[in-house]
Amino acid sequence: MKILDASQLAELDQFSIDRQNISSWDLMERASKLAYLRLKSILPTSPYKVYILVGPGNNGGDGLAIANFMTLEGVDVEVILVNYTETRSEDNQSNLDRLKAAKVKIIDFNKASQLFKITSEDVVIDAIFGVGLNRSMPDFVQDLIQYINSVSPLSISIDVPSGMFLDRIPSANEQVFQSDYTYTFQTPKLSLFLPDYANSVGHLDIIDIGLDKEFLNSLSSDLTYVDLESAKKRYRFRSRFSHKGTYGHAVLVGGSQLMLGSIILAAKSCMRSGVGKTSVMMPNKAHLTMIQHQPEVMLIDNSSSHFISYHSLEFEPNSVGIGVGIGTSTEAFDALKSWLVNSKSPLVIDADALNLIAKHESLLDFIPKKSILTPHPGELKRLIGAWKDDFDKLKKIKSFSKKLDVIILAKEAYSLCVYKDQIYVNSTGNSGMATAGSGDVLTGLITGLLAQKYSSMDPAILGMFLHGLAGDLALKWMSEESLIASDLIDQLGHSFLKLKD
Ligand SMILES: NC(=O)C1=CN([C@@H]2O[C@H](COP(=O)(O)OP(=O)(O)OC[C@H]3O[C@@H](n4cnc5c(N)ncnc54)[C@H](O)[C@@H]3O)[C@@H](O)[C@H]2O)[C@@H](O)CC1
Ligand SMILES: [K+]
């Protein structure tokens, strides 16, 4: 699904209104009705009061329309008009007139207003600003948002949390509404996925309000949200007449004296990726353990019993995944350098291989073009340097990707797969995946997909999607707390099945 900017969103709204021969009021009514239906499912069962904070634009119009639906169902609603400008949009005004006629309680809130009494038992719907926010909010709106955040009622933002910008991170003294739920319309917005906005979004729902799909797809954007539909498009069905040679031979290089589990996890995951064959090069002393865990794996002799080593292979692997558990010793550095210099296979580079590259910049020159690098935030910082905020981070990732001609998969709550200017944001995954070994599973999976000749960014994009989905599927049987990396491997088969539904 494409991620659009504010002007494209407005264009899409207008095109849909024209194509469907409806009014902007009809579209607002449709969007608000759908948001209201979601809202109903999360409202408290005990009696509650709803405050709806309404700006004068179309986001406020949505809030007023929701107030109407709630009033019709007998909910105790109070509308707070947050008057940051005198000019009210046409649909906002019509909605306001309708509510006034229905005698709904409406109060005006402006610069001179006192903060009112909201309790943590109340429900607050935030429709102050939507995607139209384009400059710093007036102080009295900032104060209002700060006050509500401090009270912490059940909070729902319509389209985006007020105070969120689509193209920048707020400065330290700018407020952003902190929601428990955000109902965003039609297409997700990039800021909703950025860690700098983590406290503001809560549970995210993307509501399809029936805007024109054909036009949406025709808009050009470097940003894509990788949902099930976009993952399915990348998935390749297997042929009945295939054999193991069809699906490639992956080699995993990893492990060191005290870090052998990581390479075992990566190998197990690689085996579940659909790859034809998996060979592992790891310290020799752990060979038996490896085979006991995964007898399908083949072993490559390694000259050191404590560290990884390099020697040329009798075959050309279709992919090599290097780095998990290798440590940052001199032996690991020498071996990594040789692998980078000599390997003719596409590479997946992870973990300590990235740390070694960050520490010894001379290695940068040897990274083969189109390699897939999978750093977690710490490794990323060591590679590209510290960033000011998430937009700055994206800029830095892009320029690193351009400079080295590599694909960066930045592991985050919403992982980002970046190649040059293109950014793919992952939709799957959960906090249970913040657990040791989760990244090793991802490396194994991507190396396996890469060996199957999935082209360009697809192994990284599909890998991150399937990996996150495995984590989500595991939560059907267990809690985030108890999820461990091995559970992800167990769920990979179910993840793949979802691509064939
Ligand atoms: N066009 C449509 O028919 C639809 C629009 N929808 C809603 O419309 C929203 C966008 O509406 P708007 O474009 O009216 O924008 P907003 O309602 O987000 O903002 C209102 C206006 O405030 C002004 N403004 C921006 N920053 C300001 C600041 N710091 N101080 C004072 N004024 C400021 C801008 O002129 C902006 O247009 C979406 O987020 C969504 O909620 C939905 O109802 C779906 C359908
Ligand atoms: K809002």
Q: What is the pLDDT of residue 232?
A: 97
Asked whether residue 20 is assigned to any structural domain, the reply reads yes
The CA 105 to ligand 1 mean position distance, Å, reads 23
Q: Whose CA is nearest to atom 33 of ligand 1?
A: 133
Q: What is the pLDDT of residue 311?
A: 85
Cα separation, 235 vs 102, in Å, equals 53
Which of 191, 220, 249 is where one domain is finished? 220
Percentage of the chain modeled with pLDDT above 70: 100
Cβ-count burial of 382 within 10 angstroms (0-12 exposed, 13-18 middle, 19+ buried)? Answer: middle
Q: What is the pLDDT of residue 257?
A: 85
Contact 350, 407 (CB under 8 A): no
CATH number at residue 37: 3.40.50.10260
The CA 52 to ligand 1 mean position distance, Å, reads 16
Contact 491, 474 (CB under 8 A): yes
Cα separation, 351 vs 436, in Å, equals 12
Q: Helices 377-384 and 390-404: crossing angle, nearest 10°?
A: 60
Same domain, residue pair 461 and 381: yes
Same domain, residue pair 182 and 100: yes
Cα separation, 455 vs 457, in Å, equals 6
Q: What is the pLDDT of residue 80?
A: 97
Annotated binding residue 18: no
Percentage of the chain modeled with pLDDT above 90: 94
Q: What is the 3-state secondary structure (H, E, C) of 249-308?
A: EEEEECCECCECHHHHHHHHHHHCCCCCEEEEECCHHHHHHHHHHCCCCEEECCCCCCCC
Same domain, residue pair 159 and 235: no
Q: Which domain holds residue 110?
A: 6-220
> Which ligand number lies closest to the CA of residue 209?
1
Asked whether residue 398 is assigned to any structural domain, the reply reads yes
Q: Check residues 25 and 312 and name the one with the higher pLDDT.
A: 25
Asked whether residue 138 is assigned to any structural domain, the reply reads yes
Confidence of residue 303 (pLDDT cuts 50, 70, 90): confident
Residue 116 has pLDDT above 80, yes or no: no
Q: What is the pLDDT of residue 453?
A: 85
Same domain, residue pair 189 and 235: no
Q: Whose CA is nearest to atom 28 of ligand 1?
A: 137
Residue 128 has pLDDT above 80, yes or no: yes
For a ligand 1 pocket test, name from 109, 133, 207 the mutation site with the most ligand atoms within 8 angstroms of its C-beta.
133
Distances from the Cα of 170 to the Cα of 54, 73, 144, 282, 345, angstroms: 21, 37, 16, 47, 43
Q: Whose CA is nearest to atom 1 of ligand 1?
A: 13
Same domain, residue pair 205 and 235: no
Q: Whose CA is nearest to atom 29 of ligand 1?
A: 137
Q: Whose CA is nearest to atom 13 of ligand 1?
A: 132
Same domain, residue pair 207 and 131: yes
Contact 339, 322 (CB under 8 A): yes
CATH number at residue 353: 3.40.1190.20
Q: Three-state SS for 82?
A: strand
Which of 220, 248, 270 is where one domain is finished? 220
> Which protein residues are within 6 Å of ligand 1, measured from CB?
13, 24, 27-28, 31, 55, 57-60, 62, 84-85, 89, 129-138, 158-159, 185
Q: Which atom of ligand 1 is nearest to the CA of 158?
A: 41
Predicted ipTM?
0.97
Residue 184 has pLDDT above 80, yes or no: yes
For a ligand 1 pocket test, name from 59, 83, 137 the mutation site with the most ligand atoms within 8 angstroms of its C-beta.
59
Q: What is the pLDDT of residue 102?
A: 95
Which of 165, 186, 220 is where one domain is finished? 220
Q: What is the pLDDT of residue 31?
A: 98
Same domain, residue pair 470 and 327: yes
Q: Which atom of ligand 1 is nearest to the CA of 185?
A: 44
Mean pLDDT on 261-268? 97
Cβ-count burial of 150 within 10 angstroms (0-12 exposed, 13-18 middle, 19+ buried)? Answer: exposed
Number of domains in the chain: 2
Q: Three-state SS for 446?
A: helix
Q: Whose CA is nearest to atom 21 of ligand 1?
A: 57
Same domain, residue pair 444 and 387: yes
Asked whether residue 285 is assigned to any structural domain, the reply reads no
The CA 228 to ligand 1 mean position distance, Å, reads 30
Residue 164: CB atoms within 10 A of its CB come to: 27
Same domain, residue pair 50 and 196: yes
Asked whether residue 395 is assigned to any structural domain, the reply reads yes
Q: What is the pLDDT of residue 427?
A: 98
Contact 28, 91 (CB under 8 A): yes
Asked whether residue 330 is assigned to any structural domain, the reply reads yes
For a ligand 1 pocket test, name from 17, 23, 30, 58 the mutation site with the most ligand atoms within 8 angstroms of its C-beta.
58
Asked whether residue 258 is assigned to any structural domain, the reply reads no
Residue 82 has pLDDT above 90, yes or no: yes
Asked whether residue 305 is assigned to any structural domain, the reply reads no
Same domain, residue pair 187 and 326: no
Q: For the chain, how many helices (H) and strands (E)?
A: 17, 17
Cα separation, 488 vs 501, in Å, equals 20
Q: 202 — alpha (psi -120 to 50), left (phi > 0) or beta?
A: left
- Average pLDDT over the chain reads 96
189-232 pLDDT tens trace = 999 999 999 999 999 999 999 999 999 999 999 999 999 999 99
CA-CA-CA-CA dihedral for 167, 144, 71, 25, to nearest 10: -30
Same domain, residue pair 207 and 344: no
Residue 12 has pLDDT above 90, yes or no: yes
Same domain, residue pair 235 and 178: no
Confidence of residue 477 (pLDDT cuts 50, 70, 90): very high
